[in-house]
Amino acid sequence: MEELQEQKDQSIGQDGENETIAESASFVHGELPPDGSGPPKVDSEVEVLHEKVTKQIIKEGHGQKPSKYSTCFLHYRAWTESTQHKFEDTWNEQRPLEMVLGKEKKEMTGMGIGVSSMKSGERALLHVGWELGYGKEGNFSFPNVPPMADILYEVELIGFDETKEGKARSDMTVEERIGSADRRKMDGNALFKDEKLEEAMQQYEMAIAYMGDDFMFQLFGKYRDMALAVKNPCHLNMAACLIKLKRYEEAIAQCSIVLVEDETNVKALFRRGKARAELGQTDAAREDFLKARKFAPEDKAIAKELRLLAEDDKAIYQKQRELYKGLFGPRPEPKPKQTNWLILIWQWLVSLFYCIFKRERHKAD
């Protein structure tokens, strides 16, 4: 097994599988938007795309816009405008939607108009009238949308394939889908080397979209091995980038996906351990590093991380010891009280008068 390399200055290289490596770094698609109780509040200018479709940009994209019949990959959330009821969320499901512009479902017509105006990486809020959504009848199955409901979409265009570059996943053979995903992965690696991180992550996520759960479930034997050889490195590269962006929870999730398929994957264990260590989950991090060391006993990067955890444990112990020493140390000696001479003189005078009075009374008796 290839030894993990200890990098300096958070450098990035590639292994024989064209997988991005960032072992000493202490980012999949655009940052996951906050999942509030309703649609996001957007102050940007309203752009009228159609009589029934408007758009407000939340995050700017880059590059060109997709043309008709392009295969687009996107994440979205959807709410009915009147009730603010959220009825769809692909971010939550971790499953991007594939949409071929001009061939989208009837209820997606309004969203298709919005997506055709977007650039890769762009996130926008779309307002779609009911006529270009679920119509006069609505939908009483899943998703549940009432009749004549205007819809609000929060959409992020991950990326797209022009019609000349390929075709919809459903029309591809197994080899074509794996090949398309592999090209996306390699494009992502090239972009990542150029520090174009957002663009790289979009390529990785599009590659993973080709390897969806429904597709992987149908594969076995050499085809499954071929697909995993593309899919798993994309998850690992995304985890490495997420660690660089300090988005540790998301990095852990990416590594865990790989470990479900391959529980001995050293890179997945190592990167999940680093993310957990950054979150202060030292016991879980140590467990990951120890498992990784079991399969790569000579690896210096793993040994370094275990040594850092041990040093942190020692530092914490010393701090606790100093704290307890202060709490349970010997009781300080009480300071002597300062003498108040006025009180002493007053007490002496009272005592003197009492003695004189007692003596005179005794003589009188």
Q: What is the pLDDT of residues 179-209, one digit of tens each?
A: 989 998 998 888 878 877 777 778 888 888 8
pLDDT by residue (tens digit) across 98-130? 888 988 999 999 999 999 999 988 999 999 999
pLDDT given at position 159: 87
Residue 322 has pLDDT above 80, yes or no: no
User: Domain boundaries in the chain?
Assistant: 13-27+171-312, 47-165
Listed residue (234, 212, 258, 235) closest to 95, CA to CA: 212
CB atoms within 10 A of CB 363: 6
Listed residue (85, 138, 81) closest to 107, CA to CA: 138
Residue 7 has pLDDT above 50, yes or no: no
Handedness of CA 123, 127, 131, 133 (dihedral sign): positive
Cα 83 to Cα 104: distance, rounded to the nearest angstrom: 26
Quote the mean pLDDT of the chain.
Answer: 82
- Grouping H, G, I as helix, E, B as strand and the rest as coil, residue 75 is strand
Residue 5 has pLDDT above 50, yes or no: no
Cα 95 to Cα 73: distance, rounded to the nearest angstrom: 10
pLDDT given at position 11: 34
pLDDT by residue (tens digit) across 244-280? 888 899 899 999 999 998 999 999 999 999 999 999 9
Could you write out the DSSP letters of every residue in 284-334?
HHHHHHHHHHHH-TT-HHHHHHHHHHHHHHHHHHHHHHHHHHHHHSPPPPP
Residue 140 has pLDDT above 50, yes or no: yes
Phi, psi (rounded to 5 degrees) for 36: -80, -170
- Among the residues of the chain, which ranges form H helices? 90-93, 109-115, 174-193, 197-210, 213-217, 222-244, 248-261, 266-278, 282-295, 300-328, 341-364
Contact predicate 319/21, CB 8 Å: no
DSSP 3-state percent helix, strand, coil across the chain (nearest 5): 50, 15, 35
Range 13-27+171-312 has CATH code 2.60.40.1190: no
- Among the residues of 60-196, which ranges form H helices? 90-93, 109-115, 174-193
pLDDT given at position 328: 55
What is the mean pLDDT of the segment spanning 126-149?
93
User: In sequence order, which residues have a C-beta less than 8 Å from that of residue 360 and are 6 or more positions away?
Assistant: none
> For the whole model, what pTM was predicted?
0.65
Among 172-176, 234-238, 326-330, 352-356, the range scoring the smallest mean pLDDT is 326-330
Which residue shows structure tokens 């996951």? Answer: 32
What is the mean pLDDT of the segment spanning 306-316?
84
pLDDT given at position 113: 96
**Quick one: tokens of 213?**
């759960």
pLDDT by residue (tens digit) across 32-86? 566 566 899 999 999 999 999 999 999 998 888 998 888 898 999 999 999 999 9
pLDDT given at position 324: 66
Fold of 47-165: Chitinase A; domain 3 (3.10.50)
pLDDT given at position 30: 46
Cis peptide before 40 (omega within 30 of 0): no
